[in-house]
Structure 1
Amino acid sequence: MIRAILRLLLAVFYAFAGVMHLAEPAPFLTIMPSAVPWPEAFVFWTGIAEIVGAVALIQPFHLKLRQAAGIGLALYALCVWPANINHLVMDLAREDGGLGLAYHVPRMIAQPVIIFWALWAGEVVLRNSAPTYKS
């Protein structure tokens, strides 16, 4: 039951983030590392990936699809980590110190938690598999 609730919470988080990527791409474009080609396309397609991953994560019928969503969302979180690091570096380099370490340190710590959460919610790791006994 707890896994289902946290799966839904993660899906809501990713769906909201995906919609925001599509509706308001400017904040995401400002933290994009300059080495990334076609930043507008990346923001658009990452928004689509978040929405598709969220929907696949909460569908109740196919474990393999849920697992694929968990893996995909975990890989997504890993791949956007450089943008978060870039944001930290750019923000702290501002004259006023930007949002500060109180914002960025928890965000950096949250990334591996989100990666594990996606794998756990997608039933890729720590699956509940009760042993079967023959009588």
Structure 2
Amino acid sequence: MARSKRSPLLLAGLLATAGVAHFVAPRQFDAIVPRAVPGSPRTWTYASGAVELALAAGLALPRTRRASARVATAFFVGVFPANVQMALDWRHRPAPLRTAAYARLPLQVPLVLWARGVARDARPGPHRD
């Protein structure tokens, strides 16, 4: 399926927005870091925010788009446990919050497929757009 030429830039924008949010409002992200992960939740919050910003930059540049999209695919899979942690922690919250937490779980699938599609559609190697 052919994707819009804007698709990589839209994905980059989404990742950049999420990355900035990790630094602007880190507490909400600290809360969903799985407790089984070693180290400080804040360290993981900042690290994942930095990765999102780096991926956004890589997706924005045609030269690094394919590799960045591949890493983004793995990243979206890798952060899924945080969404599971949020769903578990929020299962006794009011219905709207609980619904939002549960809704995040299946939303990871389209993100993985989107990044994978961007990787597949990107031209390999150095080039100019």
- Give the gaps of 5 or more residues in structure 1: 130-135
2:56 aligned residue (54, 57, 75): 54
CA distance in 1, matches of 2:43, 2:50: 11
SS in 2 for 1:92: coil
Amino acid in the other structure paired with 1:100: R
Q: Who is 2:71 aligned against?
A: 72
CA RMSD of aligned residues (A): 2.0
> Would you say the 8 A contact 1:3–1:121 is kept in 2?
no
CA distance in 1, matches of 2:5, 2:59: 10
Q: 1:12 to 1:4 in 2, by over 3 A?
A: same
TM-score by length of 2: 0.83
TM-score by length of 1: 0.80
Structure 1 stretches of 4+ with a deviation exceeding 3 A read none
Per-residue Cα deviation, 1:85-124 (whole angstroms, up to 9, x for no partner):
1101110134x456123x234321110110110111233x
Per-residue Cα deviation, 1:33-58 (whole angstroms, up to 9, x for no partner):
11112221111111111011011111
Identity %: 28
Q: For the pair shown, which has the larger CA radius of gyration, 1 or 2?
A: 1
Q: 1:55 to 1:128 in 2, by over 3 A?
A: closer
